[in-house]
């Protein structure tokens, strides 16, 4: 009992620390920008552009779920795409709205191991590689966009060749890491990396639509570069759903190039709202995560 109590206490403290960092970061950002301009830009956001941003974001999540299922198939676990998509959205809900619990990825691993007895280690590797393939695509696009943005010009000419070089190294490094650390998944490396690029392209298009909703037609490469950088930073388990660190990234990133940061923070808020609304779908799918599981086992488990 003492061990269970200590584990719960540790999780509670971790959640409280995340909440503290989230509110501290938001408080700091909101005291550094023009609040009236933030409110005005939120109210003036074009709903049609936001609708397309929402659609593109969810298309990226559907593509992510398809990519994850490729990793599952590599270890012999065959899930129906519909069930896999339901599980993916439930995982999104857990990640964003229940950050103090097991987490979305942990929940998927727990559920699949419980019902399909496929082993925690291969399931963990599949979920981890799914995340890493997304980060690889993020790094690739970020390096390319950085090279043609004002950030490269401000930092000097050396970035004009180092950024493309870094972009060219992303996938070779990912390949050899997969080969030596996750050999069973090497057979699906090419396919999953292509899916990763497709997923992040949809995310970039979603970000571009949010920029359109705010009538931002300048510094597009800079905004999109910051969006990718903030997405990488948001992966770090520092705040709730990356809230606060995304806004900090836009605050300082736009200040560096002399842009008004209020619009960047508005963009970040809108992206979070789209993420939160999309993740809420998982709440309505919770009762469909384990339907007739014994009957499904013969068709979705090798």
Three-state SS for the chain is CHHHHHHHHHHHHHHHHHHHHHHHHHHHHHCCCCHHHHHHHHHHCCHHHHHHHHHHHHHHHHHHHHHHHHHHHHCCECCCHHHHHHHHHHHHHHHHHCCCCCCHHHHHHHHHHHHHCCCHHHHHHHHHHHHHHHHHHHHHHHHHHHHCCHHHHHHCCCHHHHHHHHHHHHHHHHHHHHHHHCHHHHHHHHHHHHHHHHHHHHHHHHHHHHHHHCCCCCCHHHHHHHHHHHHHHHHCCCCHHHCCHHHHHHHHHHHHCCCCHHHHHHHHHHHHHHHHHHHCHHHHCHHHCCCCHHHHHHHHEC
CA–CA dist 159, 225 (Å, integer): 14
238 within 8 A of 245, measured Cβ to Cβ: yes
Give the whole-angstrom CA distance, residue 260 versus residue 254.
7
**Residue-wise burial string across 206-237, b where 16 or more C-beta atoms lie within 10 A, e elsewhere:** bbbbbbbbbebeebebbbbbbbbbbbeebeee
For 133-177, the pLDDT digits (tens) are 999 999 999 999 998 888 888 876 666 778 888 899 999 999 999
| pLDDT score for 161 | 74
Q: What is the pLDDT of residue 2?
A: 62
Angle at 133 between CA 132 and CA 136, to 5 degrees: 85
In percent, how much of the chain has pLDDT > 70? 88
Q: How many CB atoms lie within 10 A of CB 277?
A: 12
Nearest-angstrom CA–CA distance, 19 and 251: 20
Q: What's the pLDDT at 123?
A: 93
Would you state the structure tokens that stand for residue 44, as one six-digit string?
Answer: 């003036």
**Banded pLDDT at 297 (limits 50, 70, 90):** very low
Sign of the C-alpha dihedral computed for residues 31, 35, 37 and 41 taken in this order: positive
Q: Could you read off the pLDDT of 217-276 as tens digits, one per residue?
A: 888 899 999 999 988 888 777 777 677 888 888 888 888 888 888 888 999 999 999 999
Residues 6+ positions from 71 with CB-CB distance below 8 Å: 126, 127, 129, 130, 185, 188, 192
Is residue 7 very low, low, confident or very high in pLDDT (cuts 50, 70, 90)? Answer: low
Do the Cβ atoms of 52 and 273 come closer than 8 Å?
no
> How much is the average pLDDT of 49-55?
97
Q: Is it the case that residue 205 has pLDDT exceeding 70?
A: yes
């Amino acid at each position: 009992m003492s061990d269970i109590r200590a584990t719960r206490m540790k999780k509670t403290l971790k959640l409280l620390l995340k909440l503290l960092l989230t509110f501290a970061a938001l408080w700091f950002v909101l005291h550094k920008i023009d609040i009236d301009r933030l409110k005005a830009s939120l109210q003036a956001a074009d709903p049609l552009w936001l609708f397309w941003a929402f659609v593109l974001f969810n298309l990226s999540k559907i593509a992510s779920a398809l990519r994850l299922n490729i990793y599952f198939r590599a270890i012999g676990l065959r899930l129906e795409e519909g069930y896999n998509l339901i599980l993916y959205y439930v995982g999104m809900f857990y990640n964003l709205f229940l950050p103090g619990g097991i987490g979305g990825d942990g929940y998927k691993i727990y559920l699949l191991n419980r019902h399909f007895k496929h082993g925690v280690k291969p399931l963990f590797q599949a979920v981890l590689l799914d995340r890493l393939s997304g980060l690889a695509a993020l790094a690739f696009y970020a390096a390319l966009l950085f090279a043609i943005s004002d950030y490269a010009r401000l930092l000097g000419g050396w970035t004009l060749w180092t950024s493309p070089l870094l972009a060219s190294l992303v996938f070779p490094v990912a390949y050899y890491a997969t080969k030596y650390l996750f050999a069973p998944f090497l057979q699906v490396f090419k396919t999953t990396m292509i899916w990763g690029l497709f997923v992040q392209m949809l995310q970039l298009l979603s970000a571009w639509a949010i920029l359109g909703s705010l009538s931002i037609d300048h510094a597009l490469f800079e905004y999109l570069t910051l969006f990718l950088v903030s997405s990488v930073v948001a992966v770090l388990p520092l705040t709730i759903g990356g809230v606060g660190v995304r806004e900090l990234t836009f605050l300082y990133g736009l200040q560096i190039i002399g842009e008004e940061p209020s619009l960047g923070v508005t963009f970040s808020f809108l992206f979070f709202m789209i993420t939160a609304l999309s993740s809420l779908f998982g709440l309505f799918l919770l009762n469909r995560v384990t339907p007739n599981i014994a009957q499904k086992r013969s068709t979705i488990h090798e």
